[in-house]
Amino acid sequence: MIVGVPKEIKVREYRVGMTPGGVKKLVDRGHKVLVETKAGIGSGLSDDEYHAAGAEIVKDIQTIYGRADMVVKVKEPIEPEYDLIRENQIIYTYLHLAADETLTHKLLERKCIAIAYETIQLPDGSLPLLKPMSEVAGRMATQVGANTLEKENGGKGLLLGGVPGVRQGRVVVLGGGVVGLNATKMAVGLGAQVSVLDVNLSTLNYLDDIFHGRVQTVYSDSESIRRYVAEADLLIGAVLIAGAKAPNLVNREMLRSMEDGSVLVDVAVDQGGCIETTKPTTHDDPTFVVDGVVHYCVANMPGAVAHTSTFALTNTTIAYAAMLADLGAEAAARKDRALALGFNAYKGKITCLAVAEAFSLECSDLGQLLGK
Ligand SMILES: NC(=O)c1ccc[n+]([C@@H]2O[C@H](COP(=O)([O-])OP(=O)(O)OC[C@H]3O[C@@H](n4cnc5c(N)ncnc54)[C@H](O)[C@@H]3O)[C@@H](O)[C@H]2O)c1
């Protein structure tokens, strides 16, 4: 199969769909990989590295879409890419179609095979291709929170780890899933005093076990949230209810109970946020202040650490990319149920229920389309 890796053209997107290691894996299996020149530059990866891994470097995005059987990306295709997509071409990337009606119709019109990273789902319900970005965002949440607590950045001028004789910072993490666990690891590493609130007792058990009592685990309800939020120097929003808007757990009154110069990082902002005053911000202008509390609510946090994110992403996407390249889309979907769930559109038909429901479209059964 010919696999194409274009340079991302969405504004301020520095990640790329494949590392040189990923290229080598496909080339070693007998596939041809085209990489657009400078595709990896934002992630610190040069054309020479891709070439050494066996890629053919091509000069423009038209050549990638024109020659590739499968295009591997990070972000959803945007307007200049729409008409480059060819019939039967596999588009393998984050798509978030339920939030983008125009793109949904375009992909149907182009009769491509659109496979979304975010809906590939393992039998236990987990979303393996979302996990690496949650790991990155969770770790970043503590890092940007610590930084924002500095006086120059609007914070109260507090060092999270304290020093001997001076109290540590109090970090409160709402939600102990992937983001929450990673934020907690970093906060513990910095020497902060950390509390994690979750409604899932197994999650609290797990956190209690792995942190050997170093972290306070708390069952999450409105009273415990009220109590812990009031004391937080750094509050991290990391809740998720799969497929739903994030629940609003911290209201304005609770926010007012926080000290001036405290910081909140609402990582769940991409699902609407779990704090009443959250609104999405960008890396250009990441923070704003409400009631004396500095809010950091960037919806695409991993974009800021493109090098790490590109590697973390390829580590998880490459196995499915290899399966698609080896077997073709149809046989790969028949073989792997998790991958089949990633098929959002197949040759002009919607095959993902959530996307169909979002725009009142008909949902076709992929199994039937493939003649199972
Ligand atoms: N801003 C970004 O750049 C970025 C990047 C990656 C992920 N995210 C977002 O971060 C959020 C968390 O993702 P995740 O991968 O950690 O999800 P996850 O499913 O692993 O964890 C979510 C946790 O929230 C808990 N939870 C649910 N309701 C709760 C409540 N009322 N109180 C306390 N905890 C509750 C769940 O039990 C679960 O443990 C998601 O909205 C995700 O989209 C944002």
* Ligand 1 centroid – CA 268 distance (Å): 6
User: For residue 213, what are the CA distances in angstroms to 188, 206, 236?
Assistant: 11, 11, 20
Task: Yes or no: say if 92 and 73 are a contact pair by the CB < 8 Å rule.
Answer: yes
With left for phi above 0 and alpha for psi between -120 and 50, is residue 123 left, alpha or beta?
alpha
Mean pLDDT of 260-268: 97
Among the options 51, 96, 105, 307, which is catalytic?
96
The verdict on the CB of residue 198 being under 6 Å from ligand 1 is: yes
The verdict on the CB of residue 238 being under 6 Å from ligand 1 is: yes
pLDDT at 248 exceeding the cut of 70: yes
105-147 pLDDT, tens per residue? Answer: 999 999 999 999 999 999 999 999 999 999 999 999 999 999 9
51 noted as active-site residue: no
pLDDT category at 243 given cuts 50, 70, 90 is: low
pLDDT category at 278 given cuts 50, 70, 90 is: very high
Give residue 37's pLDDT: 98
74-90 pLDDT, tens per residue? Answer: 999 999 999 999 999 99
The verdict on the CB of residue 267 being under 6 Å from ligand 1 is: yes
pLDDT category at 220 given cuts 50, 70, 90 is: very high
Give residue 99's pLDDT: 81
Mean pLDDT of 216-240: 98
Distance CA 35, CA 50 (A): 7
pLDDT at 29 exceeding the cut of 80: yes
What domains can be seen in the chain, in order of their start residue? 2-119+305-369 (3.40.50.720), 131-299 (3.40.50.720)
Across the chain, mean pLDDT equals 96
HEC assignment per residue over 257-275: CCCCCCEEEEHHHHHCCCE
Give residue 372's pLDDT: 63
Percent of the chain with pLDDT over 90: 93
* Ligand 1 centroid – CA 228 distance (Å): 18
Q: Ligand 1 atom closest to Cα of 131? A: 15
* Ligand 1 centroid – CA 179 distance (Å): 6
Give residue 290's pLDDT: 98
